[in-house]
Amino acid sequence: MLRRVLVAASLMFAATAQAQELHPLPPQPAGVAWPTQEWEEAPLPADVDRAAFDLAVTEAFGGVHERLGETRAVIVVQSGRIVFERYAAGYGRDTRLNSWSMAKSVTHALVGAAVLQGRVAVDTPMGNPHWPASDRRASITWREWLQMVDGLEYDENAEDVQNAGNARMLFGDGRRDVARWAAARPLIRDPGTHWNYSSAATILISDALTGAIVPDPRDTIDRRNRMRAWMGASLFDRIGMRPVVEFDPQGTFYGSSLVWASARDFARFGYLYLRGGVWDGQRVLPAGWVDFARTPGSDADTDVYGAQWWLTPRSGPGRPDRSLITDNAMADAFSAQGHEGQIIVVVPSKDLVMVRLGLFHGGLESWNALGAWSTRLIGAFGRRDAGRGTRAASMR
């Protein structure tokens, strides 16, 4: 009974105030095998704009676009099959590369798996062992943490790299206990009112999730090993992923980064979201969980972020940050994004997933170049509309 109550309470994912038309998520095409073991492959579809596509490929792998840096892998999946796959010299289909912040989207999926199992309810306070019940931070809900409207003081990318939050947390004074470091950030805004991109928020989510899954660890090694086993059984093994997930010395997985996986595995992860959290006829994520990811949060001044996934606005460049996809005709596109140009882009209207892994050393100018390149590459593919738009589920 308790499990049914928790699941019912947790199905209130997307705020009704933010309800909007979402493009339907396309079903698995008839006759196409799920890529749990191997991906099916197919030639480029006949409706691809070959001139635009070939130019984008040349820009990625020909060394002609300095701001894109080094592209190490590109995969395009359309209608369930890999239609394009290329690697730079020294990399291949089995090479695991660092997700960086694409891991935040993986953490969203892991929380979803816990919701499906009745272990987490997203509209209840998440809490942290370092906060007493009377601490205002202890009342912030899982939803608010996932949407990054928690209100904690945190600067992801300070001009002085040594003082940037993520660098300090992962590699500086927080490195031995990342959750304790994140939990020490003070509250400076009312939760739910202000979006601030925060790896610290995702670290706190990963710590709380681990506590929900492994409430009674014998030691830090047991905590890590049991959490790793649960991740495999609840998510990775079910969709055929074989990632390496890093943990800190306290047995907390770095939910904000440091998931190592192949381009094909990152494509599997994007494909899970393209298919609405269903895999081979079985539900891996709760109904509506993907819509929660691709619906803007509660800050009215933000239209580029949902819940641990980046969004494409319906008009304009996006606020407060520029959208990765620059063509508003692809407003249904949503993406996982990581440091130095790692991206998984999911485009329901084209029944498409695109993965790009690589390395650039630039800042905003390189991200703008990657966004323009991604828009050209994906824009070369034709639409595969599944039907009319549906209103974002209120999950009530």
The mean per-residue pLDDT over the stretch 245-273 comes to 98
74 - beta bridge partners? 86, 356
Q: Which domains does the chain have, with CATH numbers?
A: 2-391 (3.40.710.10)
82 and 263 in contact (C-beta within 8 Å)? no
Q: Output 362 or 181, whichever has higher pLDDT.
A: 181
Sequence-distant (≥ 6) Cβ neighbours of residue 225 within 8 angstroms: none
For residue 156, the model assigns a pLDDT of 86
- CA-based torsion, 359, 200, 13, 103: positive or negative: positive
76 and 354 in contact (C-beta within 8 Å)? yes
The amino acid that residue 117 corresponds to is Q
**Element holding 7 (H helix, E strand):** helix 2-10
For residue 352, the model assigns a pLDDT of 98
For residue 265, the model assigns a pLDDT of 99
Sequence-distant (≥ 6) Cβ neighbours of residue 276 within 8 angstroms: 25, 285, 287, 290
Q: What is the pLDDT of residues 329-366, one digit of tens each?
A: 999 999 999 999 999 999 999 999 999 999 998 889 99
| Closest C-alpha among 104, 81, 90 to residue 35 | 81
The mean per-residue pLDDT over the stretch 233-260 comes to 97
pLDDT at 315 > cutoff 70 = yes
For residue 124, the model assigns a pLDDT of 98
What are all long-range contacts of 49-54, with beta carbons under 8 Å and residues at least 24 apart?
49/379, 49/380, 50/380, 52/376, 52/377, 52/379, 52/380, 53/377, 53/380, 53/381
23 and 294 in contact (C-beta within 8 Å)? no
Burial of 7 (0-12, 13-18, 19+ CB in 10 A): middle
- Give, as one character, the DSSP assignment of residue 261: E
pLDDT at 176 > cutoff 50 = yes
CA distances from 163 to 150, 166, 174, 254 (A): 21, 9, 12, 19
Q: Across the beta sheet with 244-245, what order do the strands follow?
A: 97-98, 259-261, 244-245
pLDDT at 173 > cutoff 80 = no
What is the C-alpha to C-alpha distance for residues 334 and 31, in angstroms, rounded to an integer?
A: 27
The mean per-residue pLDDT over the stretch 16-32 comes to 81
For residue 385, the model assigns a pLDDT of 80
CB atoms within 10 A of CB 78: 23
pLDDT at 393 > cutoff 60 = no
Dig out the tokens for 133 from the structure: 């019940």
Per-residue confidence band for 144, with pLDDT thresholds at 50, 70 and 90 = very high
For residue 63, the model assigns a pLDDT of 79
Q: Output 230 or 12, whichever has higher pLDDT.
A: 230
For residue 10, the model assigns a pLDDT of 44
What is the C-alpha to C-alpha distance for residues 277 and 296, in angstroms, rounded to an integer?
A: 19
Average pLDDT of the chain, as a whole number: 91
pLDDT at 1 > cutoff 50 = no
What is the C-alpha to C-alpha distance for residues 11 and 139, in angstroms, rounded to an integer?
A: 19
The full length of the chain comes to 396
Q: Is the peptide bond before 26 cis (omega within 30 degrees of 0)?
A: no
